[in-house]
Chains A and B, each alone.
Chain A
Amino acid sequence: AQSVTQLDSHVSVSEGTPVLLRCNYSSSYSPSLFWYVQHPNKGLQLLLKYTSAATLVKGINGFEAEFKKSETSFHLTKPSAHMSDAAEYFCVVSDSSRGAQKLVFGQGTRLTINP
Chain B
Amino acid sequence: GAVVSQHPSRVICKSGTSVKIECRSLDFQATTMFWYRQFPKQSLMLMATSNEGSKATYEQGVEKDKFLINHASLTLSTLTVTSAHPEDSSFYICSATKGAIKQSPYNEQFFGPGTRLTVL
Contact = CB atoms under 8 A, between A and B. Distances in A.
A39 to B, nearest CB: 9
Interface of A: 9, 32, 34, 36, 41-46, 49, 51, 90, 94, 96, 99-103, 105-108
Contacts, number: 63
16 contacts: A32-B105, A43-B95, A43-B111, A44-B95, A44-B111, A46-B108, A49-B106, A51-B106, A96-B103, A96-B104, A99-B101, A100-B103, A100-B105, A101-B101, A105-B45, A108-B41
B104 to A, nearest CB: 5
Interface of B: 4, 9, 32, 34, 41-46, 49, 93, 95, 97, 101-114
State the main secondary structure of chain A at its contact with B: loop
Contact of A107 (B32, B34, B42): B42
Nearest to B45: A105
A43 B113 contact: yes
A105 B44 contact: yes
Nearest to A50: B106
Given A43-B4, A51-B105, A101-B107, 13 more contacts: A41-B9, A43-B93, A44-B111, A90-B43, A90-B44, A96-B103, A99-B103, A101-B34, A101-B109, A102-B46, A103-B46, A103-B109, A107-B41
B113 to A, nearest CB: 5
B79 to A, nearest CB: 16
Given A9-B41, A107-B42, A100 B102 contact: yes
